[in-house]
Chains A and B, each alone.
Chain A
């Protein structure tokens, strides 16, 4: 039963993530955190962090990580198959249609309207990650705010916007900053 759930969840992730990169993130969060509670918000954030630092698409990384945690190696395989199955079918059909008609304008029209929605959903996922980072499981009030985390976030964002340091280095720096401030 758990295999069916994993498979179906990751099929939905594979089927509805348009635009690559972070586009899958809100869907993974919706399935894995909100709908099934397989990961906590903090674990989900760790997973995104790990995905950033290792090669491979976020969806495939998540399928392996979540599948292993919930149902061992066979769970990981089932989840991974689920997340690539929609691609296999849709890409093959599109490739065939394309080779026949040489036109993709309907699809590109749909994508044009999806792009702003994808940006918005990524932003929304980002907000949840920040809430989890700044307040953990506690109520989001001024009193409970972890100001060190807010400071690290501002510093990291400044580095990303104003310098050319790559995101992986910025994240590692953010990690070390937390270690150092905890030691003091």
Chain B
């Protein structure tokens, strides 16, 4: 019993710490989780962790939250998952609450507003760069269907203003059909 409490507490503190100090998004935090739980605590086997990470990355939602759920669930069932989720979302919740107050109070300040305006161009550049990084492997793959999906999805969302949810549903369905057909052709 004491052991279980100890695990939950350590789980909470580790996820809290990782969440508060990890910049750079879900992929980075999942790697750090692996280091902590596989290499430092030896709570999870390396192979199993890779599979858990694959589940976290394949599921919808934030990868950091998904990672916390799989690890917490694996270690201590539902209570483990809840503790790990709390550890993961508390830091951004508190930080953004503070930023939010600051934002409302200072948005009208000349310096801050100029700064934020310049940063709009900066974040636009970051997104452009990320898009290039993500797009290159898809173009290099030379899969005609992927290229069609990419072009059509861009036109649908940028030019025709189609709700992104429909785009996700349609492309997901295309993927499901393709996988099904591929599997059938392999088994034949």
- Which residues of chain B have a CB within 8 Å of any CB of chain A? 19-23, 25-27, 51-52, 54-66, 69-70, 73-74, 81, 85, 89, 91-93, 95-97, 99-100, 103-104, 107, 111, 114-132, 134-135, 138, 145-147, 149-154, 157-158, 161, 163-165, 167-169, 171-172, 174-176, 178-180, 182-183
- B66 and A111: CB pair below 8 A? no
For the complex with contacts A84-B62, A122-B134, A167-B126, 6 further pairs of A-B residues with Cβ separation under 8 Å are A20-B26, A34-B161, A65-B100, A95-B74, A117-B150, A176-B115
Q: Closest residue to A14 on the B side, CB-wise?
A: B61
Cα–Cα, bound, A48→B27 (Å) = 18
Contact A92 B131 (CB under 8 A): no
A90–B60 Cα distance when bound, in Å, is 8
Query: How distant is the Cα of A168 from the Cα of B123 in the complex, in angstroms?
Result: 9
Contacts of B130 in A (CB 8 A): 21-22, 122
Size of the A side of the interface (Cβ < 8 Å), in residues, is 102
CB distance from A42 to the nearest CB of B (A): 7
Q: How far is the CA of A90 from the CA of B91 in the complex (A)?
A: 23
Name the prevailing secondary structure of the A interface residues. Answer: helix
Task: Name the 10 nearest CB pairs between A and B, nearest first.
Answer: A56-B92, A178-B118, A109-B179, A174-B122, A113-B175, A57-B62, A87-B61, A156-B125, A20-B63, A116-B150
